[in-house]
Structure 1
Amino acid sequence: MNLSASVGNLCRTTVEKHSEELLEISRSIHANPETAFSEHRSAALLADFLAARGFAVERGAAGLETAFVARYGDGPLAVALCAEYDALPGMGHACGHNVIAAASTGAGLALREVADRLGLTVMVVGTPAEEDGGGKLIMLERGVFDEVSVAMMVHPAPEENCAPRSLAIADLQVRYTGRATHPALSPELGVNAADALTVAQVAIGLARQHFEERQMVHGIVTRGGDSPNVVADDTAARYYLRAGDLSSLHRLESRVRSCFEAGAVATGCGHEVTEVSPAYAELRHDPWLVAAYRDAARELGRPLVSPEAEAAMATGSTDMGNVSRVVPSLHPTIAIDGGGAVNHQPEFAAACVSPSADRAVLDGALALAWTAAQAASDEAQRDRLLALHAARRAGTPPDAR
């Protein structure tokens, strides 16, 4: 790293000083999982912690009860450290958002110590509902990121990946309505909504042969009927559609909507398709930020792999993708030892409070802080980031990448 020794050491000392508090935050959020837009305890925990350490905290940011923005400093280069803290329904923190929240908080504390020296505004942004609901997208649309020059966070995963290739995603529900009847006494009077759902599922399954690269569909039946002895007149399913980018996602959505329509046409049912959550875009990493983070992670002895290996790793989807289309962004993954488990498995939830997860909190906090400090210290990069921000505010943004 080219970061000055005094700045780098001060960041490290600050993270070490607050290490037990940061790990307690991680463990407390993990022990009390809260799902999308219901993360009242987690948001209050972080907001109170930062307020007690000199941050000016805006609670209920963007009109969302469980969102907040904590600010320190008034420098021209505003760095947003995104803290996620929502859990998965029925599975708790199997995606490790407790680690994310604590790492972003730790990075905020470290940057607080050098904010005046580096001309920073440090923002820890509490972003609810990443798993389901698009909290960051809502906050982006409502202006929370308008003042931000750089947005960053770090996400736990089985592997270390400084530039993961996330997928764009759409979240759709289809509902079929038919006519109930007795399936033995008067089956001819029925219009079977369960059959409509079956036809749609088969159509999607057959369509997979012709999907484009990185397109995929997966879903669950959320309502299948009430009794085997009544022809189902009301069924529903929820599907995630993923693709390499938004353009590909739009083509996939058109095909899947046709499959939904096929179920209705084949059975005579009515059908309705609704968007459950707003579409998430694919991530666009800022290459310079990725390189700076990679240097920081290497300095910390993280288990890095080659950029070629990174590109081949499977990834999920995130609403940070929408932020990254507007603000120069960084969203690396940081490895924890899940014993072979991956995100969204119960075993991974258990691993998110293991010793390797604790190390990920502290290493992630320091790597993010070093990356932001390096961007603020490098005159050319600082000027680039400020110019991008000024152009965006003027309504003529160049490509953030």
Structure 2
Amino acid sequence: MSVGSLVAARIAAHADQVIGLARQIHAHPELGFEEKNASRWTAATLSKLGLETSTNAWGIPTAIAGSAGPGPLHVAILAEYDALPRIGHACGHNLIAASAVAVANGLLPYVTELGIRLSVIGTPAEESGGGKQLLLDRGAFAGIHFAAMTHPGPRDVARPTVIALAGLDITYRGRAAHAAAFPHHGVNAADAATIAQVSLGLLRQQLEPADRLHGIVTGGGTAPNIIPDRTSLRYMARALTRERLDQVMERVRACFEAGALASGADLELTEYLPRYSNMIHREDILQLYRKRATELGRTFEEGVTISTDMGNVSQHVPSIHPMIGLNCAAGNHEPEFATACVGSAADTALIDGATALARTIVDVATDENLRTALQMEQSATASPR
């Protein structure tokens, strides 16, 4: 049997172990930077398999690092395990963590033969904290030639459109007053938020098709008979590239400033997470993945648009981020998708995605031209590509 076939057989033989991990994480959802159980369980499984594994990696409590193999080609598989507020693993990060373990398990006996150093990097807070950018800043991706992960979705998408993102916390501070007796004594912070939201709504007609604006009011007052002295919002802005995002953000900031100017409230605006970059897909490796997934009976669709801090990694390290389909009607971040991320379809997607990705790594390692090209390209410590 070829190495690729042996890797696939090993993943299939240990399927129950990684399915159990995926279900365990799914049953205990944890928010970003709070993934104490998920990171511990993932690290313990990697250690049991034989990888040299550490927790609190790079000084981040819920980051993990596992490694095996002599190199010289350094490949990283990324695990995510954070959940969403109230709707749990409605993005399927439980499957991403288990898939990374499955890939490592499949490749482990063959790392020396393949001439690779295999790293599994547990990356916290993809949903709400930009954990991968924090890891980049701390050198976690230095020396890595290729990084990859698979992400659950309703359908298989080899090349999702990954756009840039910024997250904003906005607070307006006014002056409280009796809304009936002395409204003229007040400065209405809720009015400031209303003006800003109307401005954002009007701005949308001038935005480009890939631009996105969406947000929520997180605090709007205490009682209807008190002029609100504090109103808070959390918004996201997205654009096709980081350069376009910078342009959009200028207009968005102006909308929030308009609310303050018109109402007389004070404005506090901060970015609550590192900006997420658009994704640079490594096309030749992506085609290898598509071939291996197709051999497993997967068929691909196009058209999904997402944001992820994997885009930040791709600016420094050749990367792929295909989506593995659960064949469900619900989309990511819907409560029904959390339900779809456990069960027989999720189990199949987990094993298929891990198998296709592991065999892709074998293909990269055994293609002398490709591995040489990767080794000659910029490392994570170089300037963005």
TM-score, normalised on structure 2?
Answer: 0.98
CA distance in 2, matches of 1:365, 1:389: 27
Question: Cα deviation per residue 1:257-291 (whole Å; 9 max; x = unaligned)?
Answer: 00000000001111010011111001111011111
Aligned-residue offset at 1:167: 1.3
Q: Find the residue that maps to 2:172 and give its secondary structure.
A: strand
Structure 1's 137 and 195: CA in aligned 2 closer, same or farther, altered over 3 A?
same
Q: Aligned partners of 1:389 and 1:243: how far apart in 2?
A: 26
What corresponds to 2:351 in structure 1? 362
Q: 2:265 aligns with which of 247, 262, 269?
A: 269
* Partner in structure 2 of residue 110 of structure 1: 106
Asked if 1:299 corresponds to 2:277, the answer is: no
Q: Which runs of 5+ in 1 are unaligned?
A: none
CA distance in 1 between partners of 2:54 and 2:377 (Å)? 26
Q: How big is each residue's C-alpha offset from its partner over 1:105-143, in whole Å with a ceiling of 9 and x where there is no partner?
A: 101111112100011111111001000000111001110
**Post-superposition offset of 1:74:** 1.6
**Partner Cα distance (1:299, 1:314) in 2:** 23
Residue aligned with 2:100, SS: helix
Question: CA–CA distance in 2 between the matches of 1:292 and 1:337?
Answer: 22
Deviation at 1:52, TM superposition (A): 1.3
Query: Aligned partners of 2:139, 2:341: CA distance in 1, in Å?
Result: 32
Calculate percent identity across the aligned residue pairs.
Answer: 45
CA distance in 1, matches of 2:373, 2:317: 12
TM-score by length of 1: 0.94
Between the aligned partners of 1:66 and 1:74, the Cα distance in structure 2 is 26
Give the AA of the match of 2:241: D
Pairwise CA distance, 1:209: 0.5
Work out which of the residue numbers 38, 50, 55 in structure 1 matches 2:51: 55
Q: How far does residue 389 in structure 1 lie from its aligned partner after superposition?
A: 4.3
2:33 aligned with 1:33? no
Structure-2 residue corresponding to 1:344: 333
Tell me what 1:247 maps to. Answer: 243
* 2:248 is the alignment partner of 1:259: no
Q: 1:119, 1:376 within 8 Å by CA — same for their partners in 2?
A: yes
- Paired with 1:8 and 1:373, the residues of 2 have a C-alpha distance of 6
The one-letter amino acid paired with 2:374 is: L
Change (3 A) 1:63 1:110: same
Residue identity in the other structure for 1:80: A
**Which residue of structure 2 aligns with residue 197 of structure 1?**
193
Equivalences, count: 385
CA contact (8 A) 1:148 1:389 kept: no
Give ranges in structure 2 of 5+ residues lacking alignment. none
Equivalence map 1:279-318=2 (5 Å): 279-305=275-301, 310=302, 313-318=303-308
CA distance, structure 1, for counterparts of residue 383 and residue 205 of structure 2: 41
Q: Shift of residue 76 of structure 1?
A: 0.9
Answer yes or no: is 1:388 the counterpart of 2:384.
no
Cα pair 1:62 1:138 within 8 Å, conserved: no
On the 8 A contact 1:172/1:275 being kept in 2, the answer is yes
Aligned-partner Cα distance in 1 for 2:82–2:70: 29
Contact 1:225 1:235 in 2 (8 A): yes
Aligned to 1:372: 361
Could you tell me which amino acid in structure 1 is paired with residue 315 of structure 2? Answer: R
Q: Distance in 1 between matches of 2:107 and 2:134?
A: 26
Structure 1 runs of 4+ aligned residues shifted over 2 Å read none
Shift of 1:16: 1.2
Contact 2:221/2:229 (8 A) holds in 1: yes
1:8-87, aligned counterparts within 5 Å?
A: 8-87=4-83
Matched, 1:238 2:227: no
| RMSD of aligned Cα (Å) | 1.1
CA-CA distance at 1:396 after TM superposition = 6.7
